[in-house]
Chains A and B, each alone.
Chain A
Amino acid sequence: MYRYDEFDQGFVTQRTEQFKDQVRRRLSGELSEEEFKPLRLMNGLYLQLHAYMLRVAIPYGTLNSRQMQKLAHIARTYDRGYGHFTTRQNIQFNWPSLADTPKILEELAEVEMHAIQTSGNCIRNVTADHFAGAAADEIADPRPYAEILRQWSSLHPEFSFLPRKFKIAITGAPHDRAAVQVHDIGLQLTRNEAGETGFVVFVGGGLGRTPMIGRKVRDFLPEEDLLAYSEAILRVYNLYGRRDNKYKARIKILVHETGLEELKADIEAEFAKIRYGVLRLPDEEVRRIEAYFAPPPLEVLPETDGAFEARKAADAAFAQFVAHNLNPHRVPGHVSVTISMKPIGGIPGDATDVQMDEIAAIAKAYGHDEIRISHEQNVILPHVKLADVPAIFDRLVAGGMAEGNSGLITDIIACPGMDYCALATARSIPVAQRISERFGGADRQAEIGELKIKISGCINACGHHHVGHIGILGLEKKGEEFYQITLGGSANENSSIGEIIGRGFSSEEVVDAIETLVDTYLGLRSSKEETFLDAYRRVGDDPFKEALYGTG
């Protein structure tokens, strides 16, 4: 597992000291709010509707039990006893005071955590597949590369004032669980015919006001060129990206306005200049960083386990959990377990201090001390023995975290929305809660099968609604909340942006509308195996429109 080296520790400590002094100067009047605001944002501190909000980075979603316990401690000591896992694999605390924030950052630094690069027009926290280092279908662990990118981009002087924020995601498996095609740069690990490791590179994906799927600029970028090529992309963006209009400043707009071929040529030209320079990645360096992520020693075990099978046969809730919340592991006899942070009727992504402590304890007892946060707002134990799953399940039941709904209709992504967020145009969480209640029956969810609902409380799309199989966008119309529905979005290796189905729905109507859509799907699917998304892609909009609006 990656450990901060001395440079990082010194750097984070120094940053914490700086911020402490900045808060002191703000409170004493040496700094005005205008001067202070960018400084606090650089340290992940926002002012929301009810209070400040602190966003803490969890690089590539990886943490250990000590770090999770620290998050629990912060929730308990400085906040209101809970935190919120976000779609960027971060955690947000909703109630810290400004006065306490330096102390919180100090506590985080004790466990090698911080809030740097969670805000501002810089290269943000790099995200990765939450099953990284564990998944059976993985080519290589993407996190060493994410870490190399993090080290390169941390306070990169040239890229601290980009036209706009810049997000990079990386996946190590052909099945993309990191939504790489909707990031400014998306990287997909691959091997060429000679068996060498490299990357498929996508540029210009993104959600928000103008959603776009990233365009492929490279089929195979050799491993050693990762930084030089990334730097080339950033340089071209930094030079040509628009600074006149915030809404047109992301690289996706540049790709769109310049045209892929021309931009590709610009990137390649820049790359040719720097390819053999200091950014070339020596093999030893990659292997050195890889060693930090060395997997725990896992014994090869039988593919099945008697007690596990017996429990599955006897306990329907356990069987449901097994059916949906386990992911195949590369080592036989092991699995990755998804701990659902989506209890029926609950708040997507919220975890109490007690739950965080319990997750830490379970990870210690059964999971080689490794924990991941997924961009789908769940928690993952990447390395677990199949034989230990019943014991883990029992503890999750006791902690209210045992819902076997991963990937199902109640595994909803929702941003904080107007219950917290200063930018929101409508609430997200209560809609998620009502949908979860409506479809929460175990049989009903299982019958519906894989269905990703994603909800955002404004056009900024933190809830990734554009790539939901069903997306819901909360807007305001004549002072009332109203919700626009999109269908057919997806964020995997076959990414697509959802299409608006028609006029929006009031808060009262929206859950019924979702039910109509789901019933329509159930009525027209060719078999139980045909998912909502597949069915939608086969039949198109019309049957769903007809069901919602009777336009036929």
Chain B
Amino acid sequence: MKIVTANRLIDGEVVWLGAGNAWVGQVSEALVLDGKDDVAAALAAGLASAERREVVDVYEVDVTEEDGKLVPVRLREKIRAKGPTTHPELGKQAQASQA
């Protein structure tokens, strides 16, 4: 399983490609991709968005499901999805706990 991620151009905020090729701010809302064609299509949509100057650094990320939740496989991506492990009050993890 894969998802597509990027950073927003204007402020660097981490985003993932969600339904309807819209960028979303929580990994849980990312569109899960199975199979090469889906990934290629999502990457193409991401790159087109980069062309429109919405995001930079578009790439794919491996994910798994843990307790029904979408979790990136690599630690780097886990940290991007949450925020610095040293600052629980900052980044996505803070937004998630407020929500």
Q: Are A47 and B11 in contact (CB under 8 A)?
A: no
| B-side contacts of A419, CB under 8 Å | 79, 84-87
Q: Are A427 and B74 in contact (CB under 8 A)?
A: no
Q: Which one of A13-21, A49-57, A531-539 is at the B interface? A: A49-57
B21 at interface, CB cutoff 8 A? no
A479 at interface, CB cutoff 8 A? yes
Among B11, B76, B79, B83, which residue has its beta carbon within 8 angstroms of that of A52? B11
| Least Cβ–Cβ distance between A428 and chain B, in angstroms | 10
- Given A97-B11, A419-B84, A47 contacting B57 (CB threshold 8 A): yes
Interfacial residues of chain A within 37-92, with CB under 8 A of chain B in the complex: 47-52, 80
Most chain A CB atoms below 10 A, which of B73, B84, B85? B84
B45 at interface, CB cutoff 8 A? no
Bound-state Cα–Cα, A202 to B75, Å: 40
- Given A27-B10, A419-B84, A479 contacting B75 (CB threshold 8 A): yes
A390 at interface, CB cutoff 8 A? no
Q: Are B9 and A433 in contact (CB under 8 A)?
A: no
Interfacial residues of chain A within 400-446, with CB under 8 A of chain B in the complex: 418-420, 424, 426-427, 429-430, 433
Q: Are B75 and A481 in contact (CB under 8 A)?
A: yes
Interfacial residues of chain B within 36-87, with CB under 8 A of chain A in the complex: 50, 53, 56-57, 73-76, 79-80, 83-87
Q: Are A418 and B79 in contact (CB under 8 A)?
A: yes
| A-side contacts of B29, CB under 8 Å | none
Interface string of A469-510 (1 = CB under 8 A from B): 000000010011100000000000000000000000000000
- Given A49-B79, A418-B79, A479-B73, A430 contacting B14 (CB threshold 8 A): no
- Given A27-B9, A97-B12, A49 contacting B76 (CB threshold 8 A): yes
Given contacts A419-B84, A420-B84, A427-B79, 11 further A-B contacts (CB under 8 A): A26-B53, A33-B50, A50-B83, A50-B91, A52-B12, A80-B90, A98-B10, A98-B12, A426-B75, A430-B86, A476-B75
Could you list some 19 contacts between A and B, CB below 8 A? A27-B9, A27-B53, A29-B53, A50-B90, A51-B12, A80-B90, A95-B90, A97-B10, A97-B11, A97-B12, A418-B79, A419-B79, A419-B84, A424-B76, A426-B75, A429-B86, A433-B86, A480-B75, A481-B75
